[in-house]
A and B are shown apart, each in its own frame.
Chain A
Amino acid sequence: MTRAGGWLLAAAALTLPLWLSSAYHLHVAIMAGIFGVLALSLNLLLGFTGQLSLGHAAFFGIGAYTSALLTLKGAWSFWAALAAAVALAGAAGWLVGRLSLKLRGAYFVLVTISFAGVISLVSVNWIELTNGPLGLPGVPAPELFGWSLRSKTAYYYLVLAAIALSYLVCARLVKSRIGRAFVALRENEPLAESVGVDVTHYLVLAAVVSAGMAGLGGSLYAHYTRFVSPEVFLFTYTVTMVVMVVAGGKGTLAGPLVGAVLFTVLPEALRAAASWQWQMLAYGVLLVLLVFFLPRGIVPAVQALRGRDAS
């Protein structure tokens, strides 16, 4: 993306509520933003270290529950709860990372799925804490200096700030020594290890940052929908994140955001034409088609079309 294009996009994102007056459209933009944070988070693991986490909904859900419980039962402020959500999700990421030190590929995937499965069962069965399947209604809207961020416009800017933060974290990380270690780990692990890259350390680091970011997305989701139930652990969320990252372009910085916008706006646009099941069916078919015809994703394909080095 050229610098001018980037500024133009940023300006468009900043002024979006001015020319997008409908509350519904703003809602779609907010959801796209939350999923943008989630997709950036998954991409850090899948795109840069090459490890697929199919338990990402667990980190998202841990963030959502932490934030909701602390504000509802602990009467914490939104900002403190948000920080705790990020920290706790990050700690869960650390645990999964440590647990799966030596596991790669399919085995890593299975551990992440299993972890998400256990957490989801806890959320259903630990009724004293989570209220079980009924969920937690009435999660308060955030406040900033005594000013409620209840309105969609205000929340939009909050989510936008979260994306900017996540994007910056990813960009800084990826372009640093750490990011090169991630890519080395993805491309050739024995070689990376032989030149002194501490593979375990970097994989755990990637898992912690990725999980913390997913926790941020979870907290934002909880305080936006104002309701948290075990549905936040639904596999659908993980699948949506995977499709967004794979379609947008894994291992690129802009890819996950492109994927997030596309796969939030598209289903909403198609809502009238196709039911939820048809859309999920289409997701499955689309994932297969992407692997066959656009294996690297939209962003690298566009970059290649423009004759640039697609990196």
Chain B
Amino acid sequence: MAELLQHLVNGLVLGGTYALLGIGLTLIFGLMNVVNFAHGEFYTLGAYVAFAALAWAGVDFFVALLMAIAAGAALGWLCEVTLLRPLRGESIDTTMLVMIGVWIAMQNGELLVWGGVAKSIPHPFPTAPLVLGPVAIAPLRIFVLVLAAALIAASWLLIQKTKLGRAMRATFQDRDTAALMGVGIGRIHAATFAFGSGLAAAAGALLGPVFLVYPSMGDLASLKAFSVVILGGLGNLPGATLGGLLLGIVEELGAGYISSGYRDAVGFVIIILVLLFRPSGLFARQERIA
């Protein structure tokens, strides 16, 4: 029982960051119809920015997180404006190939800049775990979970309560009508991509100190983000949140009770099974945003 609780808590921490990754991707995929294989690279970028900020500049953890988000959003915006905007209206395969190109280029760029050796991010939290009844949890992990929850809530507020969010929802429902009603589709696309990339970078900056940072870390992050999107349904924000938590918990349980070697297989199996049996996602009545 104590072991199960421990796995659940660890899974929740992991799942919170998966949810961040998934929300970013589900918005980009759902709203722009772009299969963003470079999503994991923004996660890696966030982790490296946090590393540079904390290890070299020695700034506060919050500042490092904000810097990571800003870097991810800025590069995401640049990517959208230079590469995706000219291709709007092209087939989904065309933009997918471009994003595969961006993925390879970014990952090897990171390899050139940072080298292949994994780095650990120094963090200001005590390493002694907090013991709460049967469960022990490192303060860093609590911090990660709380911040992930805050970012998820902020994303939800942005989508539901702001003018930009309303324009995004309108674009998702019917792009042409939204454009006729005066929504600047180009601006919405750029904002969506920047926002999604910023969230991915935040996930990287949060999970980076928990694990290690290395150039190919984004590959698995991309795939996990895709499994979250598929679990939750395209463009479904609460679905992505629940899907992320579910993936994190199932992974922890799988690693704990079945075999740790197959931990990463969980995401792959989820992709295959959900696409086979419930292609619109576990939580969706239909494809939607919000």
A113-121, A189-197, A214-222 - the one binding chain B: A113-121
| Residues of chain A contacted by B102 (CB below 8 angstroms) | 284, 288
| Docked-complex contact A111 and B271, CB < 8 angstroms | yes
Contact check, A288 vs B223: say whether CB atoms are below 8 A apart: no
For window 253-311 of A, CB contacts with B under 8 Å fall at 277-278, 280-281, 283-288, 291-292, 295
When the two chains form their complex, are residues A117 and B265 in contact, meaning their CB atoms are under 8 A apart?
Answer: yes
Known interface pairs A111-B275, A124-B261; A288-B98 also in contact (CB < 8 Å): yes
With a cutoff of 8 Å between Cβ atoms, the chain B residues found around residue A239 in the complex are 100, 104
Q: Does B118 lie at the interface of the complex (its beta carbon under 8 Å from any beta carbon of A)? A: no
Proximity string of chain A (196-235) to chain B, C-beta cutoff 8 Å, 1 when within and 0 when not = 0000000000000000000000000000000000000001
CA distance A146 to B109 in the complex (A): 49
CA distance A113 to B35 in the complex (A): 13
A134 contacts the other chain (CB 8 A): no
The segment out of B88-96, B140-148, B189-197 that lies at the interface is B88-96
Residues in B whose Cβ lies below 8 Å from that of A106: 29, 35, 92, 96
Count of chain A residues near B, Cβ 8 A: 38
- Flag if B108 contacts A118 (CB, 8 Å): no
In the complex, which residues of chain B have a beta carbon less than 8 angstroms from the beta carbon of A109?
35, 96
Question: What's the interface size class on B, roughly?
Answer: 35 or more
Q: What secondary structure prevails in chain B residues at the interface with A? A: helix
**CB atoms of B101 and A287 under 8 A apart:** yes
Query: Cβ of A110 and Cβ of B226 under 8 Å apart?
Result: yes
A6 in the interface (beta carbon within 8 A): no
- In the assembled complex, the CB of A30 is this many whole angstroms from the nearest CB of chain B, namely 25
Is A125 a contact of B262 with CB atoms below 8 Å?
A: yes
Q: Which residues in A have their C-beta under 8 angstroms from that of B87?
A: 291
Task: Provide the B254-290 mask, 1 if CB < 8 A to any CB of A, else 0.
Answer: 0000010110110111011001100100000000000
Name the A residues within 8 Å of B96 (CB-CB): 52, 105-106, 109
A121 touching B100, Cβ below 8 Å: no
**Contact pattern, A 54-65, Cβ under 8 Å of B = 1, otherwise 0:** 100000000000
**Is B112 a contact partner of A291 (Cβ separation < 8 A)?**
no
Give residues in B with beta carbon < 8 Å to A: 29, 35, 83, 86-87, 92-94, 96-98, 100-109, 111-112, 219, 223, 226, 230, 259, 261-262, 264-265, 267-269, 271-272, 275-276, 279
